[in-house]
Amino acid sequence: MTKLKWGMIGGGAGSQIGPAHRLGASLDGLFEFTAGALDHRPEEGVRYGQTFGLGNRAYGSWQEMLSSEKALANPVDLVTIATPNSTHFEITKAFLEGGFHVLCEKPMTMTVEEAEEIVKISDATRKICAVNYGYSGYSLVRHMRAMVTRGDIGKIRLVNAEFAHGHHADAADADNPRVRWRYDPKQAGVSAQFADCGIHALHMASFVTGQVVTKLSADIVSCISVRELEDDAMVNFRMDGGAVGRLWTSSIAIGRQHGLGIQVFGEKGGLRWSQEQPNQLFYMPLGGRMQVIERGEENLSPEADRATRVTIGHSEGMPLAFANIYTDLAEAIRALKGQRDIDPSANLYPRAEDGLRSMAAVFAVAESGKQKGTWVDARPPMFS
């Protein structure tokens, strides 16, 4: 089987998320790193691209990469966009319209209108637009979803999701340019912490329960008062299948490291998973005893088995979760090329629709927060 060709925009030397994408895309030998415009500084992008052997497919800008790849007989099959948020819409739109499949970092866009446009373009061009809610790639998150889908814990009553860390808790650091822009509406948009981290937790709540958010009420606050945008949010929400949702996100929670986790409570049992201990899933059947489900155990769901590689007892972490998004995408691209159905256990990658629902939630949180917690519609106009 020949490898698919993979390209990347952003993710230059020293970037936060670039290395995790390169590890994830290369892990299973399905993609070959072929092209890139890796840095906002053209010369540095070309130089860094050469360190990966990209040759004359190390480009100085994404515009150059788009026009050059379009002219090739064997252009890249998938382009990952890992640039700052405000550039996602323009680059994603251009590559979809240019005939490329895209994996865009979150948040997919800066507005709901842009997100709706991306969904429409992806549909019209029949090009995949995936969004990197990469934590949904963890094996045991996929197993949770499978357990919920097959009814192991019954009808879902409550979901409680968190993404709370403490990395912007130092008030003395508030003016640091690397931190300050995140809380500045001119650069970050209508929301800071919820748009950056809360949407991961919200996506996970939807991914695991199979339900989408319909309305929400938000209490948002800038604990460090010079910040214009929130550094902490508590969001109550309701889902279309009847589940009640609670979500806490924070960047001032000193002592919390990554802080992503989810609990789901149904009529017949409860499940609990935390990203910092991703190889254990806690399952409590009603009236039974707590069970610890280990990643890599025999007879987990096909979705979990497909998403695990090393044997039980050895840790799997974030780049391997990203790798599962890439293996899903490789299968989706091959299915499209071969005009066949995709393997259902691979059909789990987050889509442009998820990116759109997140943007609608971001704006709903900002609106509700402004109105002191009034309940507001959280559905995108095109799905309401």
Ligand X SMILES: NC(=O)c1ccc[n+]([C@@H]2O[C@H](COP(=O)([O-])OP(=O)(O)OC[C@H]3O[C@@H](n4cnc5c(N)ncnc54)[C@H](O)[C@@H]3O)[C@@H](O)[C@H]2O)c1
Tell the smallest beta-carbon distance from residue 290 to ligand X (Å): 30
- Binding mask 132-171 vs ligand X (x if CB under 6 A, - otherwise)? x-x-------------------------------------
DSSP 211: -
275 binds ligand X (CB under 6 A): no
Tokens 């990209």, residue? 54
Tell the smallest beta-carbon distance from residue 284 to ligand X (Å): 29
For ligand X, the binding residue among 3, 17, 111, 246 (CB under 6 A) is 17
- Binding mask 45-74 vs ligand X (x if CB under 6 A, - otherwise)? -----------------x------------
CB neighbours of 93 closer than 8 A, spacing ≥ 6? Answer: 117, 118, 121
Closest residue to ligand X, judged by C-beta, is 12
7 binds ligand X (CB under 6 A): no
24 binds ligand X (CB under 6 A): no
Residue 281's φ and ψ, nearest 5 degrees, are -120, 125
Q: How far apart are CA 163 and CA 141, in angstroms?
A: 15
Total binding residues toward ligand X, as defined by CB under 6 A: 21
Choose the stretch contacting ligand X; rule: CB under 6 A; options: 80-88, 150-158, 166-174, 264-272: 80-88
Tell the smallest beta-carbon distance from residue 135 to ligand X (Å): 7
Other CB atoms within 10 A of residue 209 CB: 24
Tell the smallest beta-carbon distance from residue 94 to ligand X (Å): 11
- Return the half-sphere exposure (C-beta side, CA atoms, 13 A cut-off) of residue 225: 0
The one-letter code for the residue type at 16 is Q
Give yes or no for a contact between 216 and 361, defined as CB atoms under 8 angstroms apart.
Answer: yes
For ligand X, the binding residue among 6, 7, 10, 323 (CB under 6 A) is 10
Q: Which is nearer to ligand X, 161 or 300 (CB)?
A: 161
Tell the smallest beta-carbon distance from residue 308 to ligand X (Å): 20
Q: Which is nearer to ligand X, 39 or 316 (CB)?
A: 39
Q: Is 81 helix (H, G, I), strand (E, B) or coil?
A: strand
For ligand X, the binding residue among 6, 7, 9, 139 (CB under 6 A) is 9
Q: How far apart are CA 268 and CA 156, in angstroms?
A: 9
For ligand X, the binding residue among 23, 28, 32, 40 (CB under 6 A) is 40
H helical segments located in the chain: 18-26, 42-51, 62-70, 88-97, 112-125, 139-149, 177-180, 185-188, 193, 199-209, 302-306, 318-337, 352-370
16 binds ligand X (CB under 6 A): yes
- Residue 377 burial by CB count (10 A; 0-12/13-18/19+): exposed, middle or buried? middle
39 binds ligand X (CB under 6 A): yes
Find the binding residues for ligand X in span 92-131 (CB under 6 A).
105-106
Copy the structure tokens of residue 259: 């802080």
Phi-psi region of 335 (alpha: psi -120 to 50; beta: other; left: phi over 0): alpha
Residues forming the site for ligand X (CB under 6 A): 9-12, 15-18, 37, 39-40, 62, 82-85, 87, 105-106, 132, 134
